[in-house]
Amino acid sequence: MELCDMPAWKLKEMISKGEIGPEDVLDSVFNRIDAVEGTLNSYITLLRDSSYAQAKEVKRRLKEGESLPLGGIPIAIKDIICTKGIETTCASKILKGFRPPYDATVVARVKRAGGIIVGKTNLDEFAMGSSTENSAFGPTRNPWNPETVPGGSSGGSAAAVAAGEAILALGSDTGGSVRQPAAFCGIVGLKPTYGLVSRYGLIAYASSLDQIGPMTKDVKDCALLLQVIAGKDDKDSTSIKLNLPNYLEACEVKDLKGIKIGLPRECVSESIDRSVARVIEEAKRVFEKLGAKVVEISLPHIEYALPTYYIIAPAEASSNLARYDGVQYGLRLKAGSLREMYLETRTNGFGEEVKRRIMIGTYVLSAGYYDAFYLKALKVRRLVKEDFDEAFKEVDYILTPTSPTPAFKIGEKIDDPILMYLSDVFTVPVNLAGICAISINGGFSDDGLPIGIQIIGRAFDEYGVLGVASAFEAETECHSRRPYRR
């Protein structure tokens, strides 16, 4: 097996034993990038030179006996997370040339942990989309089948990890943007509980929903990366202070005796692809085999989650994205007056989907519409959260498909926003409720495309969720398949 197809925890072991050095891992990763990036377009910016410089520095630190949780591991960062001095575009023309003068807290933590940042990955513009087609830098393709999308919005990160163009990646998840691409690309993606990971330096799409999450080759890597990025940050008022468990320990769970898993009846009906239904059925049996009890539950308001999301997220986005006005940084188009400059810059700088959401958001916050839309959405959001609260009185975890279908064809849904939005129907409720969920590979479609299963846990029960996912992984083989593995 090539190094770039190995998980981080394994590479760490090899590095610490002196079998390989960080440069060897980088060589392998960049070889793979050279081979497949022309097809996949996972990255917006590659940091080849600085990667090797970082590797040298990591080697020095390791030699000095520093304990580095990510010592020498190549990691890709979604290009919506600020990196000091490195262009951060959000896959938008409007941020062209924007080099943040600071690192996001997660980036600083990754660097401190000895991670090597190999590049900034492609995404749907400002994380708005489910296919990574809405990018000013062209679409990313799914390494399992380049005719299909990698999911989105963290499609670049998902494709990179799946294809061995990175060992680890960070994505951001507002309505499923880590989990759905992880599912489409056959990797692990975790949406942490709102407040577990600092958002400082994550360019905001919908602030009350956004969380940064790990995207990795297996659950153990997910735990490893979560440990590095989680925890209170004084720069983010919404980050929560708590004693972090040792997430890696969660991965030692071998059976699920005494655990109750709920399967919402709303999530196994209608519009689900047959292969997805089959994978869920198989997953249920795996969990039962592991000793868990799987019971049917109900989340009665979940059908309102998607429309609720598409009011709250655009509302916040319309405000968050108002700062891209051509005054201070990024694109500025010349015009005769201030008003025209705003109009020209924003009309040309933003893509269609972003403009659609800005307009929806502006509308739902407008005088006379606020109560009917935004306020009502906040109320439904509370109902969705209460659904989960109720469910978690009955069960410990909830199992759903991550997405109703496997990866779809490029161009298939791009002209039908509603159809595209449905791709996140199972992931969105988790963000609304602010709780945590992981997507892991649960099997494959008849066409050989990976299918993700989602395990939802209570707020701040990442430890439990990782444990359940880890037990599943230990019992199944599907996660170890890689698209380019020879």
Partner 1 sequence: MELKPVIGLEIHCQLLTKTKLFCSCPTDYVGREPNTIVCPVCLGLPGSLPVLNKEALKLALRAALALNCTILKKTRFHRKNYFYPDLPKAYQISQYDIPLAVNGYLVIDGKRIRIRRVHMEEDAGKLVHPTKTGRLEGAEYSLVDFNRCGVPLIEIVTEPDISSPEEARNFVMELRSLVQHLGVSDGNMEEGSLRCDANISISVDGKFGTKTEIKNMNSFKAIERALAYEINRHMEVILSGGEVIQETRHWDDSKGITTSLRGKEEAHDYRYFPEPDLLPLFISDEMVSEISKTMPELPWDRRNRWKMDFGLGDYEVFVLSSSKVLGDFFDACVREIGKPKEVSNWIQVELLRIVDDLRLKIEDCYFAIPYLKEVLELLEKGVINNQVAKAVFEESIRERRAPIDIVKSKGLEQVSDEEALKDAVKRVLEENEDAVKSYLSGKDKAFNFLLGQVMKVTKGKANPAVVRKVLEEELKALS
Interacting residues toward partner 1 by CB under 8 A: 81-82, 88, 90, 95, 98, 100-102, 104, 199-204, 206-208, 234-238, 315-316, 318-319, 322-323, 325, 327-329, 338, 342, 362, 365-367, 370, 374
Please, which residue, 329 or 444, has the CB nearer to partner 1? 329
The one catalytic residue among 157, 177, 239, 439 = 177
- Least Å from the CB of residue 394 to partner 1: 30
Q: How many C-beta atoms surround the C-beta of residue 254 within 10 A?
A: 12
Rounded to whole angstroms, the Cα distance separating 23 from 214 reads: 23
Rounded to whole angstroms, the Cα distance separating 130 from 124 reads: 7
- Least Å from the CB of residue 450 to partner 1: 31
The one catalytic residue among 78, 111, 120, 220 = 78
The one catalytic residue among 42, 51, 92, 153 = 153
Please, which residue, 237 or 271, has the CB nearer to partner 1? 237
Angle at 89 between CA 433 and CA 320, to 5 degrees: 45
Report how far apart the first and last C-alpha atoms of the chain are (Å, whole number). 7
- Least Å from the CB of residue 367 to partner 1: 5
Tokens, residue 481: 């398949």
Rounded to whole angstroms, the Cα distance separating 98 from 107 reads: 17
**Taking the CA atoms of the chain, what radius of gyration do you get in angstroms?**
21
- Least Å from the CB of residue 207 to partner 1: 4
Residue 480: exposure state from Cβ atoms within 10 A (0-12, 13-18, ≥19): middle
Known catalytic residue at 177: yes
Please, which residue, 373 or 463, has the CB nearer to partner 1? 373
Please, which residue, 61 or 93, has the CB nearer to partner 1? 93
Residues 6+ apart with CB under 8 A from 197: 106, 211, 212, 213, 226, 229, 230, 231, 239
Q: Are 473 and 219 in contact (CB under 8 A)?
A: yes
Please, which residue, 102 or 484, has the CB nearer to partner 1? 102
- Least Å from the CB of residue 102 to partner 1: 5
The residues annotated with a catalytic role in the active site are: 78, 153, 177
